Chain A
Amino acid sequence: MRRYGIILLILIATFWGCSERENPSEPTISTGRFILGFVSGGLQGGSMTEEATGRHVYVYEPTEYTSPEYWFTYTESTYYDTVEQESVTVRIDSTLVRDSVSYEMPTLYLLHGFNGNHSYYKDLFILKETLDEMISNGEIVPMVVVTPDCDNAFGGSFYVNSPVDDSLGISFAGNFEDFMTAELIDYITFNFNVDTVSAKRGIGGHSMGGYGALTLAMKHPDLYSSVSSMSAPVTFDSLVVLFDSIYAENGFDPDSLPDDTTWFYSIEPSPDRPLTSLIFAMGAAFSPHASSNPDTSLFHRVIDTNFPFGVDLPFNIDGSLNDSLWENLWLPNDPLTMLETGGYTALEGKPVYLDCGDSDDLIPNMHLQNRVFAQALESYNLDYEYIEYSGYPGVDADHITFVADRLREVLKFHSQAFSE
């Protein structure tokens, strides 16, 4: 009997194994949503390039978002109806208003880069998934994120009011600064349950969007509480080195430009000439050729041969920098110049975030230019954070590859600012 007991024990022991463990379940992610809005009254005043006045905007609403309530307000007037011989009260001047309540969320305006539009972050840089995850994980506070469309006929507005033509009296390529700082904010604050004062309104962007964020924050100190810029052109000095690349893009050797003027006027933007396209967009933003200006030495036709207007570009017919145009029309739009000529006061008391990849390929040594800008922020004792990041073996930290990662840092930055 004992013998069989031992055998039984051995068999039981053989069967004895370890319990099976389960991997932790994936964390639950609350999913917010994107609302596609339309700012129908945008870009008021029109433009010579006939930019669309209605502008799309994506607005991210987190799960925690609650819609505002609306009702009509009115005044009442009472009169005596002599026919019916009774007193009648009518309501007049009804106005749709919204509550001012409940839970007003901080808002981040994220500005797209060159050749982008309102879907830039949503489609290219997984903004929704990133927001869902980071809000669910508690990495950032719930926030409304607004990504407007500020594209124009040139691939990008640079978020400025393109100068008004002195003869025609309208903007050359649209009043995008007004759109951003008035029409869009009005639209958002009315239609969404967001903070209506600047205390919790951040602005940021990538590349041209970063440029827009910095310059709008400096021009409108009361509108934004925190500012971020990812890989933006922040010192225009760095643009001058692009001229040779632009000539090369158009098939000319920068070291031996032709003596005649044909090369100069043959320079034109196209999808396979990104730097040329960029400089034309900046020309439309900063230095469109006034229709009354008879000096066409810097003039370049745009859009097509039937379009009678054009832009002045800041290089001469021999390829050298045109100092006058540069200093009078371009440098005033240079973020570093703006900062040094009073813009720093607009940034006082506001956290500023700046980053750039160490292999940014938009402009040579772009990270060094961002470093210069960061040093300027430092010299004014501003509250800033500058990150110069690297890629990994085989994948350089160029102009665009790591934007999705930097976006996470930008969201954390603004979240921190909203929490203070």
Chain B
Amino acid sequence: MVKKVGLVFLVVTVVAVGAYGGGFALSGVGSKALGMGGAFRGLADNWSAAYWNPAGLAQLRKSEFNVMSTSISPRPEFNPQVTIGGYDVGFKNGVVRYPDDKTTFSPNVSGFLRLPSRGNLTFGVALFVPYYLDSEWDLFEPIYEDIIEPYPIIDHKLKLDVIDIHPSLAKSFMDDRLMLGVGMSILNGEIDYRKPILSPTSLPRPHENIAIDAVFHGEGWGYGANAGVIYKLSDKLQLGISGKTGTTIKFDGNVKKDLYAINNIILEEEALEEASTSEDSMAIGFIFSEIAKESWQNEAKADLKLPVDIGIGFAYSLGEKTTLTFDLSYTFWSRLDSVIIKLEGNNSPVDTSSAQDMIIRTKWEDIYRLSFGGEHYFADQFSIRFGFYYEPSPIPDETLTPLIPDIGAKYGTNIGTSLKISDWELGYNFEYVNYASKDLILDTDVGLDFDNYPGSYKSYCITNNLSITFRF
């Protein structure tokens, strides 16, 4: 038995190697749940209930072990129009840019034990990836060309990888009409954030800002919980309500900055002539450094506040073979007002502004999500699923950048299937998400912080899920 389970785990993992995953908040967990468009809070009848509504774990008829891989292929495109007051400051404006296209991978593993002897208590652990993003872009090149070493090709990056180790417990009451469940989120996160910083100088254009390649890498932990209830209103209709707490992942890491020095002796002499203090002269020495780039590093900390989420769902059985589901959820993304990367100490040789904390302003907004889904069994072993969801983007125009592909309202369409073979179940889901395109034109000056990137955005995303469940 153990040998078989190990082999299945190996196969699915190997299948997924070479693929990648994407998206800040993934659209959900579980082939079946995703196949039904994420309308799963009212049904929640397999291991993925740990994510959607832990009360549903009490519906498991057997213990089960599951592995799943999700491959995600986001395909955003961006035509930047990023200037300051109409002036070019180095962004590759006017042509459509693509990120470093990837098909990314996120694994999920779970194991739940049902204990009939303990009053139908079900408990176990799921390990899944609720948040994942790997976005890399080539959008920038310093407008001053008199540099020694080329600026990095990948100049914008946001990689966020959050794994939820999720122990859960569920129990049924009232002859299985009422189910309650709770879970704990132990989140381990890793983040890489890269963005050019433009540090002002006193030089004329195109040297009025010096380009600094800033990279933050951090790792950390966060803790939260979820809970849910399912109540069977009738033999055909059941209601589920669930929610999860907000979680803050506390990242510890460092910020590395590389200043791309100007190679222009005449300009350096002019600048030194006008330097009035020794600090100015020292800064000029770095700006016109003889080595290609000046580098320095600070330890840094950052808190990532993940949202509270609540939702209600219904599941309705049309006979024994067909089930329809509906969900309405609300996510409090407004918790994520900003991510402040606090630098420890001041190692900056340039000026105080580049030594200040890095701030990722988000100002995200609360959003709702509507999901519909259905499943039909053609035989006891084979089923087809469909699902659709609509979800606006939490990202307001004032903080929209191509680093996060969630550029506008999403329309997710899913089709899936499952095949049961003895104690095994193979599940598959295909998802196509279309994002409303956006032409972002701001008539206000954005300044050097570049909280948002004006331009034209388009995006779509294709996701495949493959899961294997063994019940015993």
A residues sitting closer than 8 Å to B (CB atoms) are 3, 6-7, 10-11, 13-24, 119, 123-126, 129, 271, 390-395, 400-405
Which residues of the partner chain A approach B146 to less than 8 Å between Cβ atoms?
Answer: 126
A3–B208 Cα distance when bound, in Å, is 67
Which residues of the partner chain B approach A21 to less than 8 Å between Cβ atoms?
Answer: 75, 77, 98, 101
Which residues of the partner chain B approach A403 to less than 8 Å between Cβ atoms?
Answer: 204-205
**Are B204 and A394 in contact (CB-based, < 8 A)?**
no
**Are B73 and A392 in contact (CB-based, < 8 A)?**
no
B residues sitting closer than 8 Å to A (CB atoms) are 15, 19, 69, 71, 73, 75, 77, 84-87, 95-98, 101-103, 138, 144-146, 200, 204-206, 208, 264, 266-267, 270, 273, 417, 419, 421, 426, 428, 430, 445, 447-448, 462, 464-466
**Are A404 and B466 in contact (CB-based, < 8 A)?**
no
Which residues of the partner chain B approach A6 to less than 8 Å between Cβ atoms?
Answer: 417, 419
Closest to A16 in B: B464
Which residues of the partner chain A approach B75 to less than 8 Å between Cβ atoms?
Answer: 18, 21
Which residues of the partner chain B approach A401 to less than 8 Å between Cβ atoms?
Answer: 204-205, 208
The contact of A126 among B86, B97, B144, by CB within 8 Å, is: B144
With A126-B144, A404-B204, A405-B205 known as contacts, the answer to whether A392 contacts B138 (CB < 8 A) is no
Which residues of the partner chain B approach A405 to less than 8 Å between Cβ atoms?
Answer: 87, 205
- 10 interchain pairs (CB within 8 A)? A6-B419, A7-B419, A15-B15, A19-B101, A23-B98, A123-B264, A124-B267, A393-B85, A394-B448, A402-B87
**Are A124 and B15 in contact (CB-based, < 8 A)?**
no
Which residues of the partner chain B approach A14 to less than 8 Å between Cβ atoms?
Answer: 15, 69, 71, 428, 464-466
**Are B462 and A18 in contact (CB-based, < 8 A)?**
yes
**Are A271 and B145 in contact (CB-based, < 8 A)?**
no
Closest to B200 in A: A394
**Are A11 and B205 in contact (CB-based, < 8 A)?**
no
Which residues of the partner chain A approach B103 to less than 8 Å between Cβ atoms?
Answer: 17-18
Q: Is the interface of A mostly helix, strand, loop or mixed?
A: loop
Q: Is the interface of B mostly helix, strand, loop or mixed?
A: mixed
With A124-B270, A125-B204, A403-B204 known as contacts, the answer to whether A393 contacts B84 (CB < 8 A) is yes
**Are B98 and A404 in contact (CB-based, < 8 A)?**
no
**Are A123 and B145 in contact (CB-based, < 8 A)?**
no
Which residues of the partner chain A approach B96 to less than 8 Å between Cβ atoms?
Answer: 24
A112–B73 Cα distance when bound, in Å, is 54
The contact of B464 among A13, A20, A125, A271, by CB within 8 Å, is: A13
Closest to B84 in A: A392
A125–B421 Cα distance when bound, in Å, is 73
A391–B447 Cα distance when bound, in Å, is 11
Closest to B74 in A: A18
Which residues of the partner chain B approach A13 to less than 8 Å between Cβ atoms?
Answer: 428, 430, 464
**Are A23 and B84 in contact (CB-based, < 8 A)?**
no
Closest to B141 in A: A26
**Are A3 and B87 in contact (CB-based, < 8 A)?**
no
The contact of B98 among A3, A22, A126, by CB within 8 Å, is: A22
Top 8 A-B residue pairs of the complex, sorted by shortest distance between their CB atoms: A392-B85, A17-B103, A20-B101, A123-B266, A392-B84, A18-B73, A10-B428, A21-B98
Q: How far is the CB of B92 from chain A (nearest CB, A)?
A: 8
**Are A11 and B204 in contact (CB-based, < 8 A)?**
no
Which residues of the partner chain B approach A271 to less than 8 Å between Cβ atoms?
Answer: 273
A403–B77 Cα distance when bound, in Å, is 34
Q: How far is the CB of A174 from chain B (nearest CB, A)?
A: 23
**Are B85 and A10 in contact (CB-based, < 8 A)?**
no
Q: How far is the CB of B215 from chain A (nearest CB, A)?
A: 21
Which residues of the partner chain A approach B273 to less than 8 Å between Cβ atoms?
Answer: 271
**Are A3 and B419 in contact (CB-based, < 8 A)?**
yes
Q: How far is the CB of B87 from chain A (nearest CB, A)?
A: 6
Which residues of the partner chain A approach B417 to less than 8 Å between Cβ atoms?
Answer: 6, 10
With A400-B204, A401-B204 known as contacts, the answer to whether A7 contacts B426 (CB < 8 A) is yes
A417–B168 Cα distance when bound, in Å, is 77
Which residues of the partner chain B approach A400 to less than 8 Å between Cβ atoms?
Answer: 204
Which residues of the partner chain B approach A3 to less than 8 Å between Cβ atoms?
Answer: 419, 421
**Are B19 and A124 in contact (CB-based, < 8 A)?**
no
Q: How far is the CB of A12 from chain B (nearest CB, A)?
A: 10
With A17-B462, A124-B267 known as contacts, the answer to whether A392 contacts B204 (CB < 8 A) is no
Closest to A17 in B: B103
A124-B267, A393-B445 provided; 18 other pairs, C-beta below 8 A?
A3-B419, A11-B15, A11-B466, A14-B71, A14-B428, A15-B15, A15-B71, A17-B73, A18-B101, A19-B101, A20-B101, A21-B101, A123-B267, A390-B85, A391-B85, A393-B85, A401-B204, A401-B205
